[in-house]
Each structure stands twice: as C-alpha cells, then as structure tokens.
Amino acid sequence: MKTSAVRIFALLIFTLALATANIFAQPGAKPTATPAKPAVKHPLDKGDFKVGFSPVTKARTPKKAMPKDERDTLEGIAVALNGMVALPRDVYLNLDTCGEPNAFYNPETSEITMCYEYIAYFEEAFKTIEKKPAVVDDMVSDAFVQIFFHELGHCLIDVWELPATGREEDAVDQLAMILMLDGSPEGQKSAINASLLWDISSRSEDKADMLFWDEHSFSKTRFYDMICLVYGSNPEKNSFMVGPSRLPAQRAERCSEEYKRAERSWMKLLMPYILD
Ligand SMILES: [Zn+2]
C-alpha cells in the first residue's frame, strides 16, 4: 500500500503541476512543471497547504500521526499547491484509515483526507476490468488523482466561498476532469480511466435501493457526465467515444459546449486566487 501511495503521489504532483499550469497559463505562456512560490506574495494568500492532521484533529486525537514516507510525499503535493493557489487559511492534507472507502474535505478542521480503504477499493474495482497489474496500478493512480482534485474543489469552494449553484458534487467533478484534461494524450487517458471507476461502481448499485436524496449524482450519471467532458474537450479526435454502449449521440452533441462552459466557469472562479 505504501509503495503504491508513493507512486500515486509522484504522479499527482506531476499532474497537478502540468494541469494547473496549463489551465491558468496566459495565452502564449509556456506551462511549467515546476511551480515555485512566487517572490511577491499574493495579497490574499494568508495560508498554506500543510501535511498532517489539523490542530483541531490532533487536540481531539493526540495519537494521530502519519508515517514519514507518506508525510514526505504529501509534502511534495503541498509545495506544488502552495505555488499555485492562494489560501485564506491553512488546509491540511492527510491519509487516514476511515472505516469506509471514501475521501473527504472537512470544513470544520480544514482537512482533505484520502482514505486507505478507498485506494484499496480502486484496486479491487479496476481488477474487474483489467488483468495486467501494471495497468491496474495506473488506473488506481488516475482514480486517486481525480478524487483528490474533487476534494480540492470542495476545499476551494469552502475557503473562498465560491459560488456553486446546483449540486456542488457535480461542480467539483467538473473541476477534477478539467484539471486532468490538460490537452495531453496521457491526461485524456487518465481522465477516461478515472471515469471508468464510476461505471464499475454503478454495476454494484442495487436499483431497488438507490438513494434519491443523496447529494451525489448516481454513479452511472457521473460516469456519463465525465466522459461527456472528455469527449467535449476534443470532439474531432474523440469521435470514437460516441456510439452504442458508449456516449450516446444525443448527449454527445452538447458535450463540446458543456466542456467549454465548465472550463470557463472554473477559470473565472479561481482566477483571483491563482498565483502567477
Ligand atoms: Zn464530493
């Protein structure tokens, strides 16, 4: 688990750097994969991404601690994020045993928590569609990156009080996809892999027991929303994604506009907080 977590974080840092550099680059500017803290402090930047449990959590559970190798790798993510986005207060990144396969942003403690159980679930899920262990590992990494960006979206909406009408869960899924779809073939492949998790998850959902009151869209809907954004990011290149048992043509015709609007909306919302 730990070795795989280290690999995931290395990929996450790289994806974060490229994706964020790409989406917020000025026209003509060269994206950089090694963002550094800017020399001039952003006037709104009063906090940092920090590694470990928040002071609130540590006060409640003094024994909570993270293994050093995980701390070190999360440190890389924190440094990358601190060079990219301003925060009004500190936000804590951690891995934890949660008792369920999940990930959270907790506004009370300002923590983004990725659960070990969730990473184990990704592996179990992807093994149902892929036999090669190396490919499964890549898919697990892709799902981790997507879920981390999703939780980062919840965090940014909370700390900057960003407007989000409609379901916040859908809005942050869009952010995750936009960040992953950095224009590279690798980014697109990762985005498709991560989307497949929701298709796989939908197979075990009992239709008689679906929670219509839940804040999340149904897994299958999330899957189609995600692949619509992938297709819409480059409809000409992605025509292979449309068809029977793929993205229905009726939905596909709107996806280019859906992608453009989602990207434009998130760029507008985040632009005041992006460090240059
Ligand atoms: Zn969420």
Q: Report the separation in Å between the CA atom of 145 and the middle of ligand 1, taken as the mean of its atom positions.
A: 14
- Beta-sheet strands, E only, within the chain: 49-51, 91-96, 103-106, 111-115
User: Separation of 149 CA from ligand 1 center, angstroms?
Assistant: 10
Cα of 125 from ligand 1 centre, angstroms: 19
Place 72 in a pLDDT band, splitting at 50, 70 and 90. Answer: confident
Ligand 1 center to residue 206 CA distance, Å? 21
Q: What is the mean pLDDT of residues 140-144?
A: 93
User: What is the number of other CB atoms lying within 10 angstroms of the CB of residue 169?
Assistant: 16
Compute, in angstroms, the gap from residue 167 CA to the centroid of ligand 1. 10
CA nearest neighbour of 41 among 80, 82, 69? 82
The tens digit of pLDDT for each residue in 175-231 reads 999 999 989 999 999 999 999 999 999 988 777 778 878 888 889 999 999 999 999
Dist CA 180 CA 233 (whole Å): 11
Residue 68 one-letter amino acid: K
77 CA distance to ligand 1 centroid (A)? 20
Tell how far the Cα of 151 is from the centroid of ligand 1, in angstroms. Answer: 6
**Which residue bears the tokens 């992608």?**
259
pLDDT at 260 over 70: yes
Q: What is the CA radius of gyration of the chain?
A: 18
What are the distances in angstroms from CA 116 to CA 4, 65, 102, 119, 179? 11, 14, 8, 5, 23
Q: Provide, rounded to the nearest whole percent, the portion of the chain with pLDDT above 70.
A: 86
- How many angstroms is it from 90 CA to the middle of ligand 1? 20
Element (H, E) at 25: none
CA of 114 to the centre of ligand 1 (A): 12
How far, in Å, is the centroid of ligand 1 from the Cα of 252? Answer: 25
Is residue 233 within 8 Å of 181, Cβ to Cβ? yes
User: Measured between alpha carbons, how far is 162 from 247 in angstroms, rounded to an integer?
Assistant: 31
Residue (of 259, 93, 275, 114) closest to 191 by Cα position:
259
Contact (Cβ atoms closer than 8 angstroms) between residue 256 and residue 67: no
pLDDT in tens, 219-257: 999 999 999 999 999 999 999 999 988 999 999 999 999
Distance 102 CA to ligand 1 centre (A): 10
Distance from the alpha carbon of residue 19 to the mean position of ligand 1, in angstroms: 20
What's the 240 CA to ligand 1 centre distance in angstroms? 30
Which tens digit of pLDDT belongs to each residue from 160-172? Answer: 999 988 899 999 9
Each domain of the chain, given as residue ranges in start order, spans 2-23+41-201+213-273
What per-residue confidence (pLDDT) applies to 3? 38
Answer whether residue 124 shows pLDDT above 50.
Answer: yes
Task: Calculate how far, in angstroms, residue 231's C-alpha sits from the geometric centre of ligand 1.
Answer: 23
Which whole number is the average pLDDT over 93-102?
Answer: 95
Rounded distance from Cα 150 to ligand 1 centre (Å): 6
Q: Which of 155, 110, 174 is nearest to 273 (CA)?
A: 155
pLDDT at position 4: 44
Strand partners, 91: 49
Q: Give distance in angstroms: CA of 171 to centre of ligand 1.
A: 9
Kindly list the strands in the beta sheet with 103-106, ordered across the sheet, starting from the edge strand earlier in the chain. 49-51, 91-96, 111-115, 103-106
Is the per-residue pLDDT at 86 higher than 80?
A: yes
CA distances to 87, 120, 134, 139, 185 from 129, in Å: 39, 15, 13, 11, 21
Measured in Å, residue 64 CA sits from the centre of ligand 1 at 24
pLDDT at residue 208, as a whole number: 73
Amino acid at 210: M
| pLDDT at 154 (0 to 100) | 97
Counting Cα atoms < 13 Å in the Cβ hemisphere of 137 gives: 13
pLDDT of residue 121: 96
Residue 147 Cα to ligand 1 middle (Å): 8
Q: Report the pLDDT value the prediction gives residue 13, as an integer from 0 to 100.
A: 56
Distance in angstroms (rounded) separating the CA atoms of residues 262 and 78:
25
- Taking the centre of ligand 1 as the mean of its atom positions, its distance from the CA of residue 260, in whole angstroms, is 22
66: DSSP letter: -
For 18-71, write each residue's pLDDT tens digit: 544 444 444 444 444 455 555 678 999 999 999 999 999 999 988 778 888 888
* Whole-number pLDDT of residue 22: 45
Mean pLDDT over all residues of the chain? 87
Report the amino acid identity of residue 51: V
In angstroms, what is the span from residue 262 Cα to ligand 1's centroid? 17
